[in-house]
Amino acid sequence: MPPEIAPWREMPPGIRQHLIQRMHDRSIRIEDLNRLRVWTESRPEVPDGDWYRDLVSFKLCGKGKYPKTFLLRDQVATGQEL
């Protein structure tokens, strides 16, 4: 059974800090973060390996149950698209 994406409170502090920094670096808007929040709160299943979710104005990339970084809309993501 594939893992579910980890909720924010269960992510290691280093991952949370990295995501916060990338959010600021990429100028991700609150509306976009709200769309991300709704998706992650549904506890979607994610593959064990690399994956990404295209959220229109940015992409969330992860590996297994942990999100790893945000990419700009035009940046190329690798892994399985969710």
Torsion angles phi and psi, residue 25, rounded to 5: -60, -35
Q: List the chain domain ranges.
A: 8-74
In angstroms, rounded to a whole number, what is the distance separating the alpha carbons of residues 28 and 30? Answer: 7
pLDDT digits (tens, 9 = 90+) for 17-54: 998 999 888 888 888 988 888 998 899 999 999 999 99
In angstroms, rounded to a whole number, what is the distance separating the alpha carbons of residues 27 and 47? Answer: 27
The pLDDT score that the predictor gives to residue 8 is: 87
The pLDDT score that the predictor gives to residue 33 is: 87
The pLDDT score that the predictor gives to residue 54 is: 94
What is the pTM (predicted TM-score) of this model?
A: 0.85
Question: Do 49 and 42 form a contact (C-beta atoms < 8 A)?
Answer: no
Q: How far is CA 67 from CA 2, 32, 58, 73, in A?
A: 15, 16, 13, 16
The pLDDT score that the predictor gives to residue 48 is: 94
pLDDT digits (tens, 9 = 90+) for 5-17: 998 889 899 999 9
